[in-house]
Structure formats: structure tokens, C-alpha cells
């Protein structure tokens, strides 16, 4: 069975990303072509990148890095839930990508962004990072708008049609994740 991680990209106290990830998870629970799990960066205790040797070398000294590498390795694809801070993804999320290298490769990735511009600039930034790590970004994405999808902020009330947007992302993500399994083999 294809395994996909729903990565919660914000670690900020008071964040709304976990509620968005929970919504995503509820929708994925109805699907039968892949298994989805939430991976919350707030639970990973990753410090600011602290490995002496570049991640591409694959020699991880820190226990936190080896633990993160095992988590990243176990999935066939990723769905990242990311806010946009100052036209970019949060530092904790970029940091998590930088910690490991080979474990990301030849897998698929999709995005659910949120913010004043639907997280679009953060997602575009992360797509560039993904490509450099040999992760294939799918074209569909969800962009949740504040205040439209959070009319009683911080309460999340997605607009009509958001679930169908997410389904499009999930369809592409599952297809690409399955196809890339052959590349990894």
C-alpha cells in the first residue's frame, strides 16, 4: 500500500496548520488507494540544521537527524500543509527538508498552502526545494485564503469546493507516488 505523510509545516504556538492537516486527514481517511499519516514537525524536535557533513553525503551524526531520516524514508509521498510567512515557507519546514537528502528522492509531493495569498508563494518556493531534492511536485494544489477560509480566525471553515480541490491534489499525488515506486526499485 502506498504511504503518504501529511506534513504539518508550522511549529508556531497558536498555529492553524494542525487544524488544516486534521481536515486533510479526515478526507484522506475515506480513500482506499493510499494510507495517510500526519507527521507534525512540532513533534520532531529538529534544531536549526546542525549536521557537520552535508546531508547529500548521507552520514548523519545527530540522533534527531537519524530519527527524521527514518520518518522521511518510510513514505512514498508527501502532502505538505504550509503557511506563508513573509512570502516564504516557515523556517522550520525548510529546515526539515535540509536535514536529510536521499530519503526524499524519487517520491511525489503535493501542497496545501494557507495565508493572505493562499500560501502560493510559499508553495512555489517549496516546489523549487523539492525539485532539488528529486521530489516530484504535482501540479494541483490547494490555496486556503485568510479570511475566506478562516472567517472566524483561527477557526477553519473551508469554502465550498475546497474538498474537491484537495481530491484533485490527492489523485495526482497517489498516481505519482505509485509511479515513482518503480523508479526507486
Q: What is the pLDDT along the chain (185 residues), one digit of tens a residue?
A: 999 999 999 999 999 999 999 999 999 999 999 999 999 999 999 999 999 999 999 999 999 999 999 999 999 999 999 999 999 999 999 999 999 999 999 999 999 999 999 999 999 999 999 999 999 999 999 999 999 999 999 999 999 999 999 999 999 999 999 999 999 99
Check residue 88 and give its pLDDT.
Answer: 98
Is 0.95 topped by the overall pTM? yes
| CA distances (Å), origin 91, targets 49, 100, 128 | 11, 15, 15
Q: How many helices (H) and strands (E) does the chain have?
A: 5, 5
For 86-103, give one letter per residue: b (16+ CB within 10 A) or e: eebbbebbbbbbbbbbeb
Instruction: Give residue limits of the domains in the chain.
Output: 2-184
Check residue 72 and give its pLDDT.
Answer: 98
Q: Which three cell numbers, joined as nine digits, stand for 146?
A: 485568510
Check residue 65 and give its pLDDT.
Answer: 98
Check residue 48 and give its pLDDT.
Answer: 97
Q: Are 146 and 153 in contact (CB under 8 A)?
A: yes
Can you name the CATH fold of 2-184? Rossmann fold (3.40.50)
Gap between the Cα atoms of 32 and 143, Å rounded: 25
Check residue 77 and give its pLDDT.
Answer: 98
Gap between the Cα atoms of 25 and 70, Å rounded: 21
Amino acid at each position: 500500500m502506498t504511504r503518504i505523510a501529511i506534513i504539518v509545516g508550522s511549529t508556531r504556538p497558536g498555529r492553524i496548520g494542525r487544524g488544516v492537516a486534521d481536515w486533510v486527514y479526515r478526507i484522506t481517511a475515506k480513500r482506499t488507494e493510499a494510507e495517510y499519516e500526519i507527521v507534525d514537525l512540532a513533534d520532531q524536535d529538529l534544531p536549526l540544521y546542525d549536521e557537520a557533513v552535508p546531508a547529500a553525503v548521507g552520514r548523519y551524526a545527530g540522533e534527531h537527524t537519524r530519527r527524521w531520516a527514518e520518518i522521511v524514508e518510510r513514505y512514498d509521498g508527501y502532502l505538505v500543509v504550509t503557511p506563508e510567512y513573509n512570502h516564504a515557507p516557515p523556517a522550520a519546514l525548510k529546515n526539515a527538508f535540509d536535514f536529510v537528502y536521499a530519503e526524499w528522492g524519487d517520491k511525489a509531493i503535493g501542497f496545501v498552502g494557507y495565508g493572505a495569498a493562499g500560501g502560493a508563494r510559499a508553495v512555489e518556493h517549496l516546489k523549487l526545494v523539492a525539485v532539488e531534492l528529486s521530489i516530484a511536485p504535482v501540479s494541483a494544489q490547494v490555496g486556503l485564503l485568510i479570511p475566506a477560509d478562516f472567517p472566524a480566525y483561527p477557526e477553519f471553515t473551508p469554502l465550498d469546493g475546497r474538498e474537491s480541490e484537495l481530491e484533485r491534489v490527492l489523485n495526482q499525488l497517489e498516481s505519482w507516488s505509485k509511479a515513482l515506486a518503480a523508479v526507486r526499485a
